[in-house]
Chain A
Amino acid sequence: MNPSTPRLTRVAPEGSGPIRNPLLNARPRAGSGPGSPPDASLRGALECAVQTAYAVIDEYMQRGYEAARHSQDRQNGTGHMNSERPNYGNLFNPWGPMTPLMEQWSAAVRAWTDAWSAFLPGGRPGAWPSQAWTAAATGYAAGTPTPPVSVEVASLRPTEVTVQLKPGASLTDLVADSFVPPLLKGVSVQNKAGRIQVRVSVANEQPAGRYNGVIRAAGGSIVGDLTVVIAEPGKDAA
């Protein structure tokens, strides 16, 4: 070899990390059989399959919306849709957008109740039992507003009252009942000129604990729920 002849060299390829995402690096297996489709047609098949999947899920969800809307129409006796995404008024319908509103009212009522409790003998502001974490913002707008709610609590012990009302429900001839465990007495719910007034009077002999009840309107339909948490003397309502 002539030492004066420069050796041919190739520029070394730039170093790059391994491609970890197989979604970018997918290749068919070698030897996949005679007439194996080339990469281009496989990619076409992939895109077609994803489009099919989107069509399946979109149609599925549309059928769900339709079914829920029909269910809502049957409950209300109307065929009117409030919006493009129907306002599913069923309190327990997980498809509905009412939950953000319920949470807002629930939080507001807790704040009112805490303020009342502080002024009662032996009362101290209560705390929601176990929600020590802050929910991340979801960026979803609230739904249709419900009437304002006021809560009056008469109790010698810290008492927390939570009221949740179904948006859009007819709120006439309200009554709170069906408490579990049974509440001795002293809960009333009234609609006074568009303002919902809740009065809770806790008897001294009422055992401490959590009492879950429902709020009914005319005809007995459930339009909300009401929870009363009575603390032991000297403790928070938690």
Chain B
Amino acid sequence: MKEAPLLIHGLTLGSWHVPAFVVYTWLVMGLLIALSLAVRGSLKPIPGGLQNFVELFIGGLRDFTVNTMGPHGLDYFPLIGTAAFFILLSNLIGVIPGFESPTANLNTTAACALVVFTSTHIVGLKHHGFKYIKHFMGPVLWLAPMMFFIEIIGHIARPVSLSLRLFGNIKGEDLVVLILFLLVPWLIPSVMLGLAVFTSVVQTFVFCLLTMLYISGAMEHAH
């Protein structure tokens, strides 16, 4: 497979070789921190340009969280908001020619999925204490050994499916644009870039929705 036509292929800091997607992750982090500092420095009661734009996203995300998780879901709003902003910006930055999405690499998406997975279990343990084990027991007590096994497999399938879904979608879009570019330059890939933007937004939405569902599932009472 040929080298991807990126702006930065990777850095070499001393004896460490930093791969390209880590460098782009740092870029996304830098952009998000710069945006937050720019808005925080000039907060006004009647919002002007940039603050208005950011409040659109935050307001929409907040309403979505309250609709899905109920009012006590706002405790977990920072986690969901960070995941949403990071994944959205990471997905979208790959549309720009010469840049690569950090989420087009299984390492980044697996990291996000593992954070969600550990949060789910920590939330469950915090809410229920040791009774959290009842979530794995199933409806009837004498079915517990079999249900335990099945529930463990279902729980392990969650981070696997979260990471693979995000990785596959973004990497697949990347490859489609690249291959179409080799076949029919300039015309068809522009249409596919529009589809890439749509896919990026939808995949962020689905990741956040699943996070909210898993966390609210860990908070509620067992069957």
A and B interact physically: no
